[in-house]
Amino acid sequence: MTVIRKNFGSDNVGPAHPQVVQAMLEANRGAVASYGGDPWTARVGTLIDEIFQTETTVFPVATGTAANALALSALVRPFGAIVCDEVAHIMNDEAGAPEFFTGGAKLLTLPSPDGRMDPEVLQATLARRRISGVHQSPVEAISLTQATEWGTCYPVSRIAALSAVARENRLHVHMDGARFANAIDFLGATPAAVTWQAGVDVLSLGATKNGAMAAEAVVFFNRDLAREFAQRRKRGGHLWSKQRFLSAQLTGYLEGGLWLQNGARANAAALRLSQGLAALPGVAVVQPTEANEVFAALPEPLVVRLEAAGYGFYRWARLPGDGGIVVRLVCAFDTTEADVDALLGKIRRDE
């Protein structure tokens, strides 16, 4: 019997991929060194070096918030500042963790229509802040979200332009890659081109949303910045004693390109959903569907009926007047064409 998925609220709602679970089961044998001295952790480092075509320093952690906040703590001082987009996850969805782990660094936001910072706006903002000198927190890093919270992706040229502004102003560059696999699939570029070759110093490489159970990796391309990171991770409570079970998730995720396959499946499902919604009267897709998130404006009565029918999604924003409600619908590696078509069919019947 086919079970139709109704929960499009997040890519966190689904299961771990069987290959990831199998990797954890295979790690559950015998005695091995603790605290990262195991062969799975060593293998993660090797895999990431191969994928990114350079030598990196890698630290597995369990959550995206930990990855972002700890990574940023290695880039800025407690009195420094980090510039990010106004809808960035570190700004709106991490409960002050970046401020906590940096010891008080300030987050500054830039407006954008689609979650992607503009290099000219960044340069102008940095120029204005230099005027006040000691009276303002010095900007020491920028953080880019790839893919963004609006489901869009930074093209390599935009990353390079933002990194050039950062270098000109002696700033470090962090990338929140919770949906990095989805971005790579859309861009058709190499992981190297999207990160260190475009000027990124450190990447929070996501896995949880794309098939892992609870695993992310902080990847330092600028390895000098990683000097104190082992201590930061330990102090923050994110060094697992039985780290093999964390690292095994990442080996299962990365081996054989599973991470890219999963990202492509999620993106394909989202594109199918986006195209189906765009063809319906009274429905508008409000952002380009470039990864696995779809943002659509629906009439409020339709939103209410979908919720009553058991469909899960986020109410993202209310449009002025009778413009309806923007909802976020997220597809994952296990979202099927049948799941998408069932939702579209329900909307057609309820219009």
Positions of CATH 3.90.1150.10 in the chain: 262-350
**Average confidence score pLDDT of the chain:** 96
**Tell me, what amino acid is at 143?**
S
CA dihedral 6, 12, 15, 21 (to 10 degrees): 170
| DSSP character at residue 30 | S
* Cα distance between residue 167 and residue 245, in whole Å: 38
Higher pLDDT: 200 or 323? It is 200
Q: What's the gap between Cα 78 and its chain centre?
A: 24
pLDDT class for 4, splitting at 50, 70, 90? confident
- Which fold is adopted by the domain 18-258? Aspartate Aminotransferase; domain 2 (3.40.640)
Report DSSP letters for 130-184, one per residue. HTTGGGSPPEEEEEEESS-TTS----HHHHHHHHHHHHHTT-EEEEEETTHHHHH
60 and 215 Cβ atoms separated by less than 8 Å: yes
Element housing 292 (H / E): none
183 and 212 Cβ atoms separated by less than 8 Å: no
CATH dotted code for 262-350: 3.90.1150.10
pTM flag (> 0.75) = yes
Percent of the chain with pLDDT over 70: 99
In this prediction, residue 236 carries a pLDDT of 97
* Cα distance between residue 166 and residue 143, in whole Å: 10
Across the range 228-250, mean pLDDT stands at: 98
334 and 14 Cβ atoms separated by less than 8 Å: yes
Q: Give all strands (DSSP E) within 76-128, no chain letters.
A: 81-85, 106-110
314 and 326 Cβ atoms separated by less than 8 Å: no
Percent of the chain with pLDDT over 90: 93
Q: pLDDT, tens digit, for every residue of 99-143?
A: 999 999 999 999 999 999 999 999 999 998 876 778 889 999 999
In this prediction, residue 130 carries a pLDDT of 76
CA dihedral 94, 96, 99, 103 (to 10 degrees): -120
Q: What's the gap between Cα 60 and its chain centre?
A: 15
**Tell me, what amino acid is at 77?**
R
Positions of CATH 3.40.640.10 in the chain: 18-258
Q: pLDDT, tens digit, for every residue of 260-304?
A: 999 999 999 999 999 999 999 999 999 999 999 999 999 999 999
Instruction: Output the six-digit token pair for 104.
Output: 């008080």
